[in-house]
Structure 1
């Protein structure tokens, strides 16, 4: 998945529809598989990015080998029954309901009745003091902004939370379905696994014993403990819908049309090597190097030899995700320094660059003035680099300059002016295609999701998962079959 942060309006529709589909039941009232955060801000759960506290992701040991930050097997074994590195309910929030009966049954009086909040867990009266979207629109304020773990060292001083310097943007988050998932490596029961047929990371509810080591190991804190069942749960990437060739619920209902889904071919044998590069700033290029060109005849031949169906290869060639990550290189991963090689990427937000040029007395038609303004935008490069490139400001600047050149080129097509594409390596044809993809892409262009094939299903009898029995799918013995999802209704103007 790729998300274009310039188009996110923070409406939380994705979060609500995901909640209604997957966690609208007892035991996971506090869990949001998808949530939208305001940055700068502390996030959900509270300061989840502070890995010195939560010990998530991977690090390199003294010999340069990958090791879980949460410790080796013996250390995890010693903490089976008392793990101090778990977020508490206060770090998430105590979910509440309201005493609506009071509104219906209150006797007539001079004052309007009030439905006071009650804990959804205990039923007792409580106060609402925190929540998954508590910072909505408040991320850049003096009360919340300085708590952002990404504001370290001199960056905290540079990002001054004053009225005239305030900035914020919305960051939707879900499980990253990593190529090198720390959660799967940390699970003592082997309940977390990455499906070989499509790379989705799932939790086997039969094998899970509720040790919660996966919660600690996940640096994004996107695995939740169901206190009613004693099992770990997480985002499933809506795989019943994916298997049926439909986009995820969060993508289907996204108001801003900022999400893109597609197939990416990658070299699985080199995942460990890519995750173990010594310099964290090299992780972006190392992961991009894993992704294979679906138009390369050798890649196509190897994919066919591996049993990948032809419609999947065609989907890989049409993949908007591959185009944004590998062809145009405008998408970046969230916190690559965790070394999990995440598979949910982001097009970083671009501040109003032409306003910045005018404010500095520059010429909006001059590429030199426009590119120079990128380094002084309202959202500091250093902050975006802490989020998406392990601190490499040059990589972020390159993406923002490419997006700036694209805007200038499309503006010049209408109003005239010099061509700004040359310095960023885009041809006019590529610029038009990238503009179409980022700005006006239709439903079928944003979501290129081929249906699953029965012959590629690697799950054997006894495997517990959510299987959508459609098309060629035949139920496997011992599987639990649950058909979840929402009816697909395309807007009339988006019908291919």
Structure 2
């Protein structure tokens, strides 16, 4: 996700909502949401792992352990987990009583459509939502509770009113080392071998919600109508036929890239277990194999990976942005889950800051100096993407600044300065390729998704049997949810309302 392009329109969130969670019991759920940063996020302060106990922690012997506790502790608290977000941490979903407007009789005063809770059906006062921090609304009063902001220096906090904001779209990270799967007592969460998508088997799920606690990104939700956990499916029915996810397909800013990468499964645990948190980024980059390496190609062929998948890996924009251009960074690598949604940090605040001084914002000397001196962009972004290490963030911003300066000379017909790409360890050709990918990429360049093969159909069908599409009229079908009630009406008390069987009486006849 290229954060320089996100305009915070929430189109991705709305289309995902309409496709996957527009059902009773899921009113509060957003598989895709867009947060304003700095801000508390959704659910509130989800990044505070001292409170929520998500992700992994490294023990003194070098082994990883769930932050939520040992297997014995999880079993002991299986019926009452003490570290679950409440509905107030997410937000109590509501609708408006529009019937009052449409059915009200003629009267002196204009009728008002009051907010009604979608959980209880009663009148409510709206005090929080999935993006209450939108455009830093209420800052600094609200933003001071941002767990990431609390980690940066006191000087940055005191001068926060001089800061900037940016948008952070979030979905499930589909981690290589998912803590949610490790914490599930029923073994209902699994990572598909064929494409790495993490799914919840709805048949095996028992609703113990240990996965909610263990996920440090809090991207698993509890459906209080069905008693099951649900999460982003990465739109796997679309991926299987070579189509991008709904959020990517509908993204107005064209900031999302999807691609296939090869990685060494045996190296995941050692990479996640490195002692220094600042080394986690490089450890994860080394996990992703070079698809141009003949040895990697031979190994892929030996494993039975189809030729068109190998070609797709060679054309993958994700691999290019992570390992070739090295501008993409993972979200909170210190959680040690090896997240697979990567972000290109925003350069625009740097450019805006230079422009406000009256200087040439596209001049590389101005841009390079600004990206190093701005306090919030580097330190705050480093807490988000590199466990506080400002080096990789600066490197990414410098490369983006170099691309902007170098390409301006080309677009204006001026002689290029080859010292610009050399100063960031690149050459003119690679700068030009990165520019085409980030600024001009067409649909087929942004989404390189090989479709599933017919010979994989049996395994795909077997894996999909217990997933969220399992119920008639289920997610995205527009009909009744798995609990049997239609969407749109109030849900009473969080109880599961199953259809009442009709009892045949003698007077009914045949």
TM-score, normalisation: structure 1: 0.91
User: Which deviates more, 342-351 or 217-226?
Assistant: 342-351
Q: What secondary structure, in the 3-state scheme, does the structure 2 residue paired with 1:152 have?
A: helix
Q: How does 1:386-405 map to 2 (within 5 A)?
A: 386-405=383-402
Counterpart pick for 2:298 among 297, 301, 307: 301
Within the alignment, does 1:317 sit opposite 2:314 as a pair? yes
Per the TM alignment, residue 134 of structure 1 is displaced from its structure 2 partner at its CA by 1.4
Per the TM alignment, residue 144 of structure 1 is displaced from its structure 2 partner at its CA by 1.9
Q: Distance in 2 between matches of 1:118 and 1:66?
A: 45
Q: What secondary structure, in the 3-state scheme, does the structure 1 residue paired with 2:348 have?
A: coil
Q: Distance in 2 between matches of 1:454 and 1:139?
A: 51
- Higher relative contact order (Cα pairs below 8 Å, separated by 6+ residues): 2
User: Which deviates more, 94-103 or 233-242?
Assistant: 94-103
Within the alignment, does 1:274 sit opposite 2:271 as a pair? yes
Q: Distance in 2 between matches of 1:30 and 1:407?
A: 41
Label 1:378 to 1:169 Cα distance change in 2 as closer, same or farther (>3 A).
farther
Q: Distance in 2 between matches of 1:130 and 1:140?
A: 12
Q: Distance in 2 between matches of 1:378 and 1:157?
A: 9
Q: Distance in 2 between matches of 1:328 and 1:141?
A: 35
Within the alignment, does 1:331 sit opposite 2:328 as a pair? yes
Label 1:307 to 1:484 Cα distance change in 2 as closer, same or farther (>3 A).
farther
Which residue number in structure 2 is paired with residue 431 of structure 1? 431
Which residue number in structure 1 is paired with residue 488 of structure 2? none
Paired residues of 2:21 and 2:476 also in contact (CA < 8 A):
no
Within the alignment, does 1:14 sit opposite 2:15 as a pair? no
Per the TM alignment, residue 363 of structure 1 is displaced from its structure 2 partner at its CA by 6.8
Q: How does 1:95-494 map to 2 (within 5 A)?
A: 95-138=93-136, 141-160=139-158, 163=161, 165-354=162-351, 356-357=353-354, 367-377=364-374, 379-415=376-412, 416=414, 418-419=417-418, 420-456=420-456, 458=459, 461=462, 464-466=465-467
Q: Distance in 2 between matches of 1:484 and 1:26?
A: 10
User: Which deviates more, 458-467 or 277-286?
Assistant: 458-467
Per the TM alignment, residue 377 of structure 1 is displaced from its structure 2 partner at its CA by 3.0
Q: Distance in 1 between matches of 2:41 and 2:463?
A: 38
Paired residues of 1:39 and 1:140 also in contact (CA < 8 A):
no
Q: Structure 1: 5+ residue runs without aligned partners?
A: 469-478, 487-496
1:198-232 per-residue CA deviation (whole Å, 9 max, x = no partner) reads 00000000000011000000000000001001000
Per the TM alignment, residue 370 of structure 1 is displaced from its structure 2 partner at its CA by 3.1
1:2-40 per-residue CA deviation (whole Å, 9 max, x = no partner) reads x00000000000000000100001111111000000000
Provide the aligned C-alpha RMSD in A.
2.2
Larger radius of gyration: 2
Which residue number in structure 1 is paired with residue 80 of structure 2? 82
Q: What secondary structure, in the 3-state scheme, does the structure 1 residue paired with 2:290 have?
A: coil
User: Which deviates more, 445-454 or 372-381?
Assistant: 372-381
Per the TM alignment, residue 154 of structure 1 is displaced from its structure 2 partner at its CA by 4.8
Which residue number in structure 2 is paired with residue 471 of structure 1? none
TM-score, normalisation: structure 2: 0.88
